[in-house]
Structure 1
Amino acid sequence: MTGQRADARRNYALLLAVASEAVAAHGADASLEQIARTAGVGSGTVRRHFPTRHALLAAVFRERVESLCAAARDLSGRLPAREALLEWLRLVTASAATIGGLATALNRDRVAAPGEPHTHCATTQLTSAGAPLVARATAAGALTPGVTISDLLTLVTGISLAAAPHPDPAAEAERLLALTVAGISPVP
């Protein structure tokens, strides 16, 4: 946004705030036209700032994804391998289950066609952040051989999508993750 006119920066900030509320309320398929109307701008303005729905979702979830990536680094530095990985998976699962649209966006990232344009890919960032945790857990014998970060993010996404309609999605996601952990990480 550096170098943009002041009105363009204001429009971007307004659109991002309105889009964040719309995605939280209506999920990843929130109406772009409704976002434009609520922000008081034309749909062309939305498309200039966010040329694709994926670009919009990436902007909406950027801070949360960056926070999860930072948590992976922090946990890796202060907890044993198994505990660090499981705590990070709990954080990702809880976020995806409770932040409207995040699990759907992660699922779309995961199943995107190889040539599909992505200006930002939350799954790629989370994969990069979680890979060292998986490597440490594998080296420590705390993870079933052959389990990858992609496998774990797929499971977390599925758990989050399944838990989202539950009256307490965070608790349901935690319960389902605990059931899954018994299969992916043998108790030492």
Structure 2
Amino acid sequence: MPPVQPRSPEEESVREEAVADRASVQEFVAAQRPRRADARRNFDALLAAAREAFAEQGADASLEDIARRAGVGIGTLYRNFPTRRHLFETVYAEEVDALCVLADELGGRPAWEALTTWIDRFVEYTVTKRAVREGLNGESGIFVSCRVSMMGAGEPLLRRAQDSGEARTDVDFDDLLRMIAGIAATTFPTAEQRDRVVGIALDGVRAARG
């Protein structure tokens, strides 16, 4: 197996761009969060309810239903998210920020375990992403920053698995995400079958033993 090559100047430039975009996403997320503790609890409950509703019903999920799931009134929802677009963008940015935070937290795990744990969370994120993109028709400035920051957070996990000899070196991170996103976009009878198929795909990314 050929050794993993060090980053080129172009790759370093991409990494620096990812750092800048991640900061933009973090600032966007932080700017949305209320200061008061009780308001933050309502805000978090609404985001959790929105993710759940989008996963079940897609982009047309009822705002009234989201408020009900969160245990708050519709007025509280509108105080936090004045428009449906605002809710979509905030849910999406929070999901991407969570993926970036997870990538940081996995730094001390064994390389292959870290990569597959992150991919498992990415599969869950794709459900939310699909609903949000449908709702906004892909027209949102936050999408670009979110994608760049997510790629910048997850790519080092693949590189570490490659450096340790646990992942094939002829696969790049874009290849990996396109493959997993394609699987996640397929309708499965159960989540268990979906996860099994993702596992089969990841077996193809793992370096041959012996």
Matches within 5 A, 1:37-186: 39-42=72-75, 44-48=78-82, 51-59=86-94, 61=95, 64-75=98-109, 79=110, 84=111, 86-97=112-123, 99=124, 102-106=125-129, 116-118=140-142, 123-140=147-164, 142-162=166-186, 165-167=188-190, 169=191, 171-186=192-207
Residue 70 of structure 1 aligns with an amino acid whose one-letter code is: D
Unaligned runs of 5+ in 1: none
Separation in structure 2 between the aligned mates of residue 148 and residue 176 of structure 1, nearest angstrom: 20
Shift of 1:121: 5.7
1:146-168 Cα shifts (integer Å, max 9, x gaps): 422222222233333437x443x
Unaligned runs of 5+ in 2: 1-29
Separation in structure 2 between the aligned mates of residue 23 and residue 156 of structure 1, nearest angstrom: 20
* TM-score normalised by structure 2 residue count: 0.58
Separation in structure 2 between the aligned mates of residue 127 and residue 54 of structure 1, nearest angstrom: 18
Shift of 1:53: 0.6
The residue that corresponds to 1:31 in the other structure is: 62
Residue 51 of structure 1 aligns with an amino acid whose one-letter code is: H
Separation in structure 2 between the aligned mates of residue 124 and residue 108 of structure 1, nearest angstrom: 20
Secondary structure of the residue that 1:135 maps to in structure 2?
helix
Separation in structure 1 between the aligned mates of residue 133 and residue 106 of structure 2, nearest angstrom: 20
Shift of 1:120: 8.9
Separation in structure 1 between the aligned mates of residue 92 and residue 86 of structure 2, nearest angstrom: 11
More helix by share: 2
Q: Quick one: higher RCO (CA 8 Å, sep 6+), 1 or 2?
A: 2
Separation in structure 1 between the aligned mates of residue 189 and residue 164 of structure 2, nearest angstrom: 35
